[in-house]
């Protein structure tokens, strides 16, 4: 902070017309704004740049952008293109236009597709209905300036640090029909009484969701705690003085100010439910009751069938849902940013 | 009243506070229970649990399962693989995203908003959206002599690249917000004095971003360490897997009983837990750095 304040005092903001002159010989190829109006706020430093500086900047922004765009966006677009083709992956010559065949087959003939969609929706619904209020509730309690707050936080947040793969193995120790904690405690670990939490198609999705909620709650708690730090304490005091009880203060003072946090929580929860993969993969490979869209996509590339076009069609469904969430979210975020 | 209460602030423990502490303690213990159960199972010999059952008092507790899991499966090798992937990936991600953030936040070209949007949106996509073409691309790229597999597929380099590409989205967003808070005059003054853009970045802007970089480094280490999906799809040889993804194979091959599985899974979690306990503040602030700016 001291450094920024120090350099700030020797600021050159007012001298922009002069600095424009120093840069003009170095940038003859910029016909735009050779004489900036003196009153205008500087939009950046570009008038001060030498040709070498421009090259450096180009590399600094260009190389990472190239990598990101190639590996993330070009591949996402390629998913869209491939979704309309059939391809066995051997040479480019075998790519054939298939129109909407992949989608038609997916929507009408794939017995796993609609269950997978349903499971993704359930995944989101559960994460939204249980960890979200629970995370908010825990954050509200921990925000009360109580002692040991950090100890409690550490406990609730611990599962977030552990990978889903490890969580999958840890929860198998609880769900195992023979040796697991639950069946041992309720006496269901004897032949004839087994409850197969992971094998039973009616149970396993819910078993996975308990583990996923366990992890998600801590994550949302931290997001809400950060959001609560932004609530003006004087507002709360004022409402307490006015005789509002804890619930009324929360409902009318705290919750409205958490609006930006709620948006983030909603986006994070949707994205997490679309990304869900590791946990069910470790549990049972994402079959027999735990099918998810992410699993179906992967099955079509690493599986023996390797139907690239078909797998891409599933990826496009996933992409469409994701963008329906990401685009409005980012649009509003960046609009706000621009205004500020 | 105002004269009395500050003198004895501890004397009046409100019952509501007590109930709250009781509730939080019980909930926190319940939250830790799955992990504690794994620790308990891992500490007990298999022979004992198979006769007495897992829910029973222990006769003997030892670290044997941990040492067995570690040595029999050759976990050290997979930890090494992770190190080879995670360290370059974290450093490169921070370097790449700070470069883009520097450009976006200090030089207001027309592109900057679009660039930032592309990076941020890319980071939010589910990985499965890109995996099919990515998998094909990695098989197509021949790198004879550079990677052991001769391709980008099945190599540490391939994993590093996708981690950098994917994670730099979030980091660019966070760092550009951070850099935008640095006063404009700071870099303007240096430029007027004739400093090059590189010096500006390396000697002025980057040192000021140290807190944000530390937070992101902590976050990235844990995320990349915990990655399961990229390695499962983009690595074919079991030997080349990083530890988190190798766990799946190891559990079938070496971890033959629940006690060993517990030990192996916990050993895998140890590095992330150590980083978390040592750098909790950085980790949490990193998570919320992106979130605060909503």
Beta carbons of B121 and A271 less than 8 Å apart: no
What are the tens digits of pLDDT across the range B223-255? 999 999 999 999 988 889 999 999 988 888 888
CATH architecture of A113-290: Orthogonal Bundle (1.10)
Name the one residue in this structure whose structure tokens are 């829910």. B55
Q: Are residues B105 and B203 in the same domain?
A: yes
Q: Are residues B254 and B283 in the same domain?
A: yes
State the Cα–Cα distance between residues A141 and B230, nearest whole angstrom. 38
- Residue A47: per-residue pLDDT: 64
Q: Are residues B125 and B220 in the same domain?
A: yes
Find chain B residues with C-beta within 8 A of A66's C-beta.
none
Instruction: Please say whether the beta carbons of A80 and A54 come within 8 A.
Output: no
Beta carbons of B129 and A154 less than 8 Å apart: no
Instruction: Please say whether the beta carbons of B280 and A152 come within 8 A.
Output: no
Say whether pLDDT at B205 is over 50. Answer: yes
Beta carbons of A10 and B185 less than 8 Å apart: yes
Tokens (6 digits) for B216: 């992101």
Q: Are residues B280 and B161 in the same domain?
A: yes
User: C-alpha dihedral over A91, A93, A97, A103, to 10 degrees?
Assistant: -20
Residue B202 lies in a domain: yes
Q: Are residues B38 and B139 in the same domain?
A: no
What are the tens digits of pLDDT across the range A156-172? 999 999 999 999 999 99
Q: How many domains does chain B have?
A: 2
Find chain B residues with C-beta within 8 A of A164's C-beta.
226, 228
Lowest mean per-residue pLDDT among A45-49, A148-152, A334-338 = A45-49
Find chain B residues with C-beta within 8 A of A71's C-beta.
130, 134, 137, 161-162, 165-166
How many other CB atoms are there within 10 angstroms of residue A210's CB atom? 15
Q: Does B219 touch chain A (CB under 8 A)?
A: no
What are the tens digits of pLDDT across the range A295-310? 999 888 865 567 888 8
What are the tens digits of pLDDT across the range B252-293? 888 888 899 999 999 999 999 999 888 888 887 777 765 544
Which one, of B18, B23, B21, B257, lies nearest residue A173 by Cα?
B257
Instruction: Please say whether the beta carbons of B126 and A275 come within 8 A.
Output: yes
Mean per-residue pLDDT of chain B: 86
Beta carbons of B49 and A333 less than 8 Å apart: no
State the Cα–Cα distance between residues B4 and B6, nearest whole angstrom. 6
Q: How many residues does chain B have?
A: 294
Beta carbons of A4 and B128 less than 8 Å apart: no
Domain that holds residue B19: 15-62
Q: Are residues B42 and B132 in the same domain?
A: no
- Residue B254: per-residue pLDDT: 83
State the Cα–Cα distance between residues A34 and A27, nearest whole angstrom. 10
Q: Does A145 touch chain B (CB under 8 A)?
A: no
Give A215-218's long-range contacts (Cβ < 8 A, gap of 24+): A215/A159, A215/A160, A215/A162, A215/A164, A215/A167, A216/A127, A216/A131, A216/A135, A216/A269, A216/A272, A217/A130, A217/A131, A217/A134, A217/A135, A217/A138, A217/A156, A218/A135, A218/A156, A218/A157, A218/A158, A218/A159, A218/A160, A218/B31
- The secondary structure of B75-105 as a DSSP string is HHHHHHHHHHHHHHHHHHHHHHHHHHHHHHH
Beta partners for A86?
Answer: A96
Question: pTM for this structure?
Answer: 0.85
Residue B8 lies in a domain: no
Tokens (6 digits) for B196: 């090059």
Residue B67 lies in a domain: no
Say whether pLDDT at A200 is over 50. Answer: yes
Size of interface A-B (CB pairs under 8 A): 342
- Residue A30: per-residue pLDDT: 36
Q: Are residues B42 and B91 in the same domain?
A: no
Q: Are residues B154 and B194 in the same domain?
A: yes
What are the tens digits of pLDDT across the range B102-124? 988 888 666 777 888 888 888 88
Which residue does chain A place closest to B26, by CA atoms?
A: A152
Find chain B residues with C-beta within 8 A of A179's C-beta.
49, 54, 258
Instruction: Please say whether the beta carbons of B89 and B159 come within 8 A.
Output: yes
Name which residue leads in pLDDT, A294 or B53.
A294
Q: Are residues B37 and B109 in the same domain?
A: no
Residue B277 lies in a domain: yes
- Residue A27: per-residue pLDDT: 35
B window 120-179, beta carbon within 8 A of A: 120-122, 124-137, 139, 161-162, 164-166, 168-169, 172
State the Cα–Cα distance between residues A41 and A45, nearest whole angstrom. 11
ipTM: 0.88
Helix (H, G, I), strand (E, B) or coil at B222: helix
Tokens (6 digits) for A66: 């190239």
Q: Does A114 touch chain B (CB under 8 A)?
A: no
Last residue of a domain, one of B35, B62, B89: B62
Q: Are residues B204 and B89 in the same domain?
A: yes
How many CA atoms are closer than 13 Å to the CA of B70, on its beta-carbon side?
A: 14
Counting DSSP H helices and E strands in chain B, the numbers are 15, 0
Q: Are residues B236 and B211 in the same domain?
A: yes
- List the CATH number of the domain containing B265: 1.10.3720.10
What are the tens digits of pLDDT across the range A7-59? 222 222 222 222 222 233 333 333 333 344 343 344 556 667 788 888 898 89
Q: Are residues B98 and B217 in the same domain?
A: yes
Which residue among B130, B272, B273 sits closest to A75, beta carbon to beta carbon? B130
CATH 1.10.3720.10 domain residues, chain A: 113-290
Instruction: Please say whether the beta carbons of A169 and B265 come within 8 A.
Output: yes
Say whether pLDDT at B86 is over 90. Answer: yes
Q: Does A179 touch chain B (CB under 8 A)?
A: yes
Q: How many residues does chain A have?
A: 340
Per-residue HEC secondary structure of B125-145 comes to CCCHHHHHHHHHHHHHCECEC
Residue B36 lies in a domain: yes
């Amino acid at each position: 902070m001291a450094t920024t304040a120090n350099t700030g005092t020797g600021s050159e903001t007012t001298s922009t017309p002069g600095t424009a002159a120093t840069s003009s010989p170095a940038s003859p190829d910029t016909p735009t704004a050779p004489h900036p109006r003196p009153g205008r706020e500087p939009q950046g430093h570009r008038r001060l740049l030498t040709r070498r500086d421009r090259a450096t900047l180009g590399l600094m922004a260009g190389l990472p952008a190239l990598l990101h765009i190639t590996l993330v966006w070009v591949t996402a677009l390629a998913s869209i293109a491939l979704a309309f083709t059939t391809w066995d992956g051997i040479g480019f010559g075998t790519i054939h236009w298939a129109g909407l065949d992949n989608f038609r087959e997916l929507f009408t003939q794939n017995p796993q597709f609609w269950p997978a969609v349903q499971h993704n929706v359930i995944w989101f619904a559960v994460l939204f209905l249980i960890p979200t209020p629970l995370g908010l509730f825990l954050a509200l309690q921990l925000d009360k300036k109580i002692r040991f707050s950090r100890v409690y936080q550490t406990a609730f947040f611990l599962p977030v640090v552990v990978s889903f793969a490890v969580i999958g193995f840890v929860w198998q120790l609880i769900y195992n029909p023979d040796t697991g904690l639950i069946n041992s405690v309720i006496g269901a670990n004897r032949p004839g009484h087994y409850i197969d939490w992971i094998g039973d198609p009616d149970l396993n999705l819910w078993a996975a969701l308990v583990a996923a909620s366990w992890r998600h709650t801590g994550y949302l708690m931290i997001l809400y705690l950060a959001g609560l730090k932004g609530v003006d304490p004087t507002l709360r005091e004022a409402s307490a003085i006015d005789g509002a009880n804890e619930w009324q203060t929360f409902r009318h003072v705290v919750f409205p100010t958490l609006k930006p946090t709620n948006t983030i929580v909603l986006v994070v929860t949707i994205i997490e439910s679309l990304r869900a993969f590791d946990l069910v993969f470790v549990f049972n490979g994402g079959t027999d009751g735990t099918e998810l869209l992410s699993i179906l996509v992967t099955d079509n590339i690493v599986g023996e069938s390797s139907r690239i076009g078909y797998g891409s069609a599933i990826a496009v469904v996933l992409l469409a849902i994701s963008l329906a969430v990401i685009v409005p979210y980012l649009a509003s975020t960046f609009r706000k940013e621009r205004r500020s | 009243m105002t004269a009395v209460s500050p003198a004895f602030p501890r004397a009046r423990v409100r019952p509501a506070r007590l109930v709250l502490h009781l509730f939080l303690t019980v909930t926190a213990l319940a939250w830790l229970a799955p992990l504690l159960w794994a620790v308990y199972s891992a500490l007990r010999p298999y022979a004992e649990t198979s006769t007495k059952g897992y829910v029973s008092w222990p006769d003997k507790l030892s670290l044997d399962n941990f040492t067995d899991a570690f040595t029999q499966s050759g976990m050290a090798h997979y930890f090494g693989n992770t190190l080879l992937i995670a360290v370059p990936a974290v450093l490169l991600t921070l370097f790449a995203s700070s470069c883009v953030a520097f450009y976006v936040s200090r030089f207001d070209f027309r592109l900057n908003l679009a660039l930032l949007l592309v990076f941020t949106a890319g980071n939010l996509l589910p990985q499965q959206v890109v995996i099919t073409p990515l998998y094909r691309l990695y098989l197509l790229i021949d790198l004879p002599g550079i990677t052991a597999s001769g391709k980008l597929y099945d190599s540490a380099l391939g994993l590093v690249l996708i981690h950098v590409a994917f994670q730099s989205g979030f980091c660019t967003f966070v760092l550009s917000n951070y850099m935008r808070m640095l006063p404009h005059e700071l870099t303007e003054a240096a430029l007027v004095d004739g400093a090059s853009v590189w010096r500006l970045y390396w000697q002025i802007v980057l040192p000021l971003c140290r807190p944000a970089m530390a937070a992101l480094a902590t976050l990235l280490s844990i995320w990349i360490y915990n990655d399961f999906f990229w390695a499962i799809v983009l690595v074919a040889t079991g030997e080349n897997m990083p530890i988190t993804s190798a766990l799946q194979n190891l559990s079938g091959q070496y971890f033959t009983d629940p006690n060993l599985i517990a030990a192996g899974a916990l050993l895998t979690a140890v590095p992330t837990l150590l980083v978390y306990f040592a750098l909790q503040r950085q980790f949490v602030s990193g998570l919320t750095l992106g979130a605060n700016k909503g």
